[in-house]
Amino acid sequence: MTWPGRTEHAALLSAATDLIAALDSLLGRLQHSGTHYVFHSDTADRCRSLGFYLSSALNDAERDNYAPALGSIRSAMEHVYIDKLIFLGQRFVQIFREVDEATWATLQSDRASGAGWADVTDWSRSPGGTLKITREGLKSEPDADGNTQTIGPHYFLLNDYSPFVGSPDIQQYFDDGLSELTERRKEAERHRFMHSTYLKWESVKESLRANGFADDETLRGLDVHFRFLSAFVHPNTDVLRLVCGGTHRGLRTIITAARRSSFTSPCWRWRSCATSARWLIDHRSSRSTAMKRSSSSVTAPGI
């Protein structure tokens, strides 16, 4: 049976297929002159990686596996915005929690003295003790004309950060015979710091804001998509029922939750989520009807 999306959304499907092909072939289409900049090849590899997630989502959608498809879109969404910071980011935001008044006063005094704070463009501390520091990225050595390139830390995290290190309190179970427990715990602390400071969704949003890539309204819209798609990543909800059975009630629940999420007025981004959910309802209904018609002459054994 032909997937209805091939006819109902032919233009959209064609655009998605072309996009995935372009992302996959970008590395091979780079042209280098006398100097090959590794940064360009690495960012082209990131584009290819994004294509893998989009291709997976498209393949799952064609098989009516909408929950895994939306889960892949959630990964692709994070991919896109971290890539924006990697490709174009000039600034980044560090977030520290539970910074008390005494520490805050010491930091302000240190910054006033000018020692070691030249890259800080802004900072603030909330009444609850959350400190946000906006810094400029790392600058390259000047070229012959004195020009420099600023690269944010997210680029270097591609190779420096590992999600497989684990937390410091379980390093005693990972004895590799080559390092001491104290060394492994120190390394685990470093990786936890990198994730918390640069890669958590809240940190990514703050860095997008600091670089002028998103304002408050845009970030609220991103949060709506993030929450909607996260329902299909974490098994906290029976997503199979949402998209395959009890669909109308389940998706209405998602729409209602999105509608209540920090908005005081309607937003086109919420409407896009609601439209996607409504399309799933209509498509599942038509798909189920077609399947029933095609199998009406088949008797299910042993039921």
Select from 70, 89, 108 the last residue of a domain: 89
pLDDT given at position 174: 86
Q: How far apart are CA 136 and CA 186, in angstroms?
A: 26
From first CA to last CA, the distance across the chain in angstroms is 25
Q: Report CA torsion sign: 59, 220, 199, 26.
A: positive
pLDDT given at position 45: 94
300 in a domain, yes or no? no
Containing structural domain, residue 230? 214-293
Are 139 and 179 within one domain?
yes
Are 106 and 158 within one domain?
yes
Those residues whose C-beta lies under 8 Å from the C-beta of residue 290, and which sit 6 or more positions away, are 1, 4
Are 70 and 94 within one domain?
no
Are 65 and 22 within one domain?
yes
Are 149 and 224 within one domain?
no
pLDDT given at position 256: 56
Q: How far apart are CA 206 and CA 189, in angstroms?
A: 22
pLDDT given at position 301: 34
Q: Report CA torsion sign: 65, 71, 72, 74.
A: positive
Are 85 and 99 within one domain?
no
Those residues whose C-beta lies under 8 Å from the C-beta of residue 89, and which sit 6 or more positions away, are 137, 151, 152, 154, 207, 211
pLDDT given at position 74: 95
Are 182 and 259 within one domain?
no
Are 36 and 98 within one domain?
no
Q: How many domains does the chain have?
A: 3
Residue type, 209: R
Strand stretches in the chain, DSSP E: 91-96, 120-125, 131-136, 138-139, 150-151
Are 94 and 183 within one domain?
yes
Those residues whose C-beta lies under 8 Å from the C-beta of residue 39, and which sit 6 or more positions away, are 151, 155
303 in a domain, yes or no? no
pLDDT in tens for each of the 303 residues of the chain? 678 888 888 999 999 999 999 999 999 888 888 778 888 899 999 999 999 999 999 999 998 888 899 999 999 999 999 999 999 988 888 888 899 999 999 998 888 887 678 888 889 999 999 999 888 888 888 878 888 888 888 888 888 999 999 999 999 998 878 889 999 999 999 999 999 888 999 989 999 999 999 999 999 999 999 999 998 998 777 777 777 765 445 455 555 555 554 444 334 333 444 445 444 445 544 544 444 444 443 333 332
**Structure letter (DSSP) for residue 171:** G
Select from 74, 89, 104 the last residue of a domain: 89
Tokens of 116: 């070691």
Q: In which residue are the tokens 């669909």 written?
A: 247
Select from 32, 64, 89 the last residue of a domain: 89
The C-alpha angle with vertex 252 and arms to 281 and 225, in degrees rounded to 5, equals 90
